[in-house]
Amino acid sequence: MTMLARLVCVALLCVAGGVSARTVVFGANHKTGSVLLAHIEHATARCDIADTLRFNSHFAGVVSPNNTYVVMVRNPFQMIVSGYLYHRKGPEPWTVSSIPKHTDVQGHHLLWTDENVVPPRPHESYSEYLRRLPPIEGILAEMVRCEYREFTNARVVAEARDAPNVLMICLDDMMWSEAVFHQYLEHIFTRLELPSDCADTLHVQLEVEGPEVPHPHGTHQAPDDRDMLLHLARMLDVTHFNETVALLEREIGCDE
């Protein structure tokens, strides 16, 4: 089922009375805090004051007035660098499978057809492909892949950021420090109108069960490496993407 079909199903389910009138919908895209948001969704569900739904792609412009939306977004340049380093390691099944030539949801098929990228070798996995390429070519490949899904979805969600029932959280800001992380949690819980005793419990539960709160530079690389890769991504945005990623950065509102 496509992302749009899933979200249409969510909207129809709410209208048809399949869930209660009080529904909180949590959404994140790949490399924008989906794991963190899953923990927040699970913690919120324990309060038992609203139904919760979750999807792992940005909603495609389907905003029901009966729902409250908590959507995690990320600076697109940070997303590129984080994705590049993460996918080089091959931690997910699709990163260690042969890169498909047919259209797939990850956008890998573009690596075979885009004249600007180094083509994959037969039966090469995406993680092997990224490890073989020099950083500038690997970053370019990740940008081409992201353009197919992650950036397209991010542009859609940016259009809904001003809706009164949509709370957009910038992962880059939230993960700056542990203190700031808990301030953002408090903001989320207040927006969801959670009882104070329940919110206090959730803070403790997330400290125990949630993901580690990283340094803003992330856990994948040293600051110098990060700065170099971000520079490459910004340079490639100018030379290959007509600065469309920089435009998306402004639309989302997440600073680097």
Q: For residues 8 and 6, what is the distance between their CA atoms, to the nearest angstrom? A: 6
**Model confidence pLDDT, tens digit, residues 214-229:** 444 444 445 558 899 9
Domains and CATH numbers, the chain: 3-76+164-209 (3.40.50), 85-151+217-252 (no CATH)
Distances from the Cα of 207 to the Cα of 39, 85, 165, 172, 182, angstroms: 10, 26, 27, 19, 10
Q: Which band of pLDDT confidence, cut at 50, 70 and 90, is reported for residue 213?
A: low
- Contact between residue 44 and residue 24 where contact means Cβ atoms under 8 Å apart: yes
Residue 197 φ/ψ, nearest 5 degrees: -65, -35
Q: Which band of pLDDT confidence, cut at 50, 70 and 90, is reported for residue 29?
A: confident
More confident residue, 50 or 160: 160
Global confidence as pTM: 0.78
- Contact between residue 120 and residue 129 where contact means Cβ atoms under 8 Å apart: yes
Q: Which band of pLDDT confidence, cut at 50, 70 and 90, is reported for residue 247?
A: very high
**Model confidence pLDDT, tens digit, residues 95-148:** 899 988 887 767 878 888 899 999 999 999 999 999 999 999 999 999 999 888
**Model confidence pLDDT, tens digit, residues 66-107:** 888 888 888 999 999 999 999 999 878 888 999 888 877 678
Structure tokens of 123? 């039966």
Q: In the block, which residue shows the tokens 């340079």?
A: 235
Proportion of the chain above pLDDT 70, given as a percent: 77
Q: Are strands 67-73 and 51-55 parallel, antiparallel or unpaired?
A: unpaired
**Model confidence pLDDT, tens digit, residues 177-198:** 878 888 888 888 888 887 777 7
Residue 75, pLDDT score: 92
